[in-house]
Amino acid sequence: MFTLLRRDRSKKLRVLLTRTLQDFAIKELQKHYKIEIHSGPFPMPKRKLLLKIKEQDGLICFPYDNVDKEVIQAGTKLKTISAFSVGYDQIDSKYAKKRKIKIGYTPNVLTVATADLTITLILDLLRRVTEGDRLIREGKWKEVFGADTYVGEEIDGKILGILGFGRIGKAVAKKAQTFGIKVFYHNRNRLPSRQEKALRVRFVTLNELFSKSDIVSIHVPYSVETHELVNKSLIKRMKKRSYLVNTARGKIINERDLIFALKRKTIAGAALDVFYHEPIGKNHQLAKMQNVVLSPHLGSSSIVTRAKMAKITVENLKLGLAGKKPIYSV
């Protein structure tokens, strides 16, 4: 009897990864758990996920995975889901919590990297850098431009409207101000006036944010409330020479309405790191527009940030499987 108990206690818990992590993270997981890493098509096909999840104690998932009620129901032994992502909309968190399954994710570490990318996209968009790069690569640069050909916008003195003033929104504001940009913001909860003064920002209504800003940058989390929040009713309020930037989530924008505005040039352009359905291909309507800068969901793609995300993902899993609350918990 005693021998059996010892054997059960020494038996490693099983953990499934829908995609691999950095070597240091894999080595740490292997110390504690029997791990299995999906190496096929990404995201992991649901049929395979349903089959594999049955014997797992823990799951490490990524954006684009679909950890819905059916998957969670199939995971009869599942105790913890650790998401390698700033959000957790790929998980049916309501049902998981009902099942007493702990959920961890990695929100705080993306702030600097995402803010950096946002500023990069703004500069690229207004100064038409990607357009110029494309011009050269396609062999179309034949002469030095004249006085008013291929001109862009200076950002000094522009008004940046930030939709969503959490960690990333504040970081974008701080970086933007170093370029002489004025910052307006709209948030569900307004900051105290003393804090607004210290941060040198001005609160405006949602409609005012879109009508008064030269650049609107989106930083709200994706939820039922923010689904297609940015649609034709807001886009039509924008100035004709204004720009829309999104490094948050693709489904916050009604993509059809944005494409309509870009085609008719009722706004000057857009820079997008996220899309309604990802990935997009070269035949997507947005990919064919000259007044659009595209990046393939690079918000967290810095070496430092991705390493921090992996470390927290592993720690969240370990805490959850030990019956404790993850560092960042739903």
Q: What are the phi and psi torsion angles at 279 (to 5°)?
A: -80, 165
pLDDT tens digits, 101-111? 999 999 989 99
pLDDT reported for residue 294: 98
Structural contact between residues 220 and 229, judged by C-beta atoms closer than 8 angstroms:
yes
Q: Do domains 2-105+304-321 and 110-294 have the same CATH topology?
A: yes
d(CA 230, CA 164): 12
- pLDDT at residue 1, as a whole number: 35
Helix crossing, 303-321 with 23-32: angle to 10°? 10
* 9 bridge partner residues: none
- What's the pLDDT score for residue 119? 98
273: left (phi over 0), alpha (psi -120 to 50) or beta: alpha
Please give the DSSP secondary-structure letter assigned to residue 251.
G
Q: Which two tokens stand for residue 174?
A: 């701080």
Q: Which residue is catalytic, options 128, 297, 306, 315?
A: 297
Rounded-to-integer distance, Cα 89 and Cα 86, Å: 10
**Structure token digits, residue 71:** 């998957």
Task: Supply φ then ψ for residue 178, to 5 degrees.
Answer: -70, -15
* pLDDT score at 3: 34
Rounded-to-integer distance, Cα 194 and Cα 203, Å: 12
Cβ-proximal residues to 145 (8 Å cutoff; 6+ apart), any chain: none
Among candidate residues 249, 255, 306, 315, the one labeled active-site is 249
pLDDT of residue 10: 59
Residue 249 CA to residue 260 CA, distance in Å, equals 19
Q: What is the pLDDT of residues 3-47, one digit of tens each?
A: 333 334 558 999 999 999 999 999 999 999 999 999 988 899 999
Nearest residue to 64 (alpha-carbon basis) of 256, 297, 311, 329: 297
Length of the chain: 330
Please confirm, yes or no, whether 32 is among the known catalytic residues: no
Q: pLDDT at position 7, please?
A: 37
Beta bridge partners of 292: 270
3-state helix, strand, coil in the chain (%, to 5): 40, 15, 45
Task: Return the domain boundaries, the chain.
Answer: 2-105+304-321, 110-294
CA 99 to each of CA 58, 71, 73, 78, 289: distance values in angstroms, whole numbers, following the listed order: 14, 12, 9, 9, 46
Report the pLDDT value the prediction gives residue 78, as an integer from 0 to 100.
98
pTM of the prediction? Answer: 0.89
215: number of CA atoms within 13 Å, CB side?
29
CA distances from 82 to 79, 98, 188, 260 (A): 10, 16, 28, 38
The question of whether 249 is a catalytic residue gets the answer: yes
pLDDT score for 250: 97
CATH class of 110-294: alpha beta
Spatial distance between the Cα atoms of 13 and 35, rounded to a whole number of angstroms: 8
CATH code at 2-105+304-321: 3.40.50.720
Which pLDDT score, from 0 to 100, does residue 235 have?
A: 98
Q: Which of 36, 188, 256, 278 is catalytic?
A: 278
Q: Which residues partner with 182 through β-bridges?
A: 159
Mean pLDDT by 10 residues, the chain (330 residues): 41 96 98 96 95 98 96 98 94 97 95 97 97 94 84 97 98 98 98 98 98 98 95 98 98 98 98 96 97 96 97 98 97
* Segments of 119-219 assigned E as strands: 159-163, 182-186, 201-203, 215-218
**Rounded to 5 degrees, what angle do the CA atoms 84, 86, 90 make?**
70
Report the pLDDT value the prediction gives residue 4, as an integer from 0 to 100. Answer: 37
Residue 278 annotated to the active site: yes
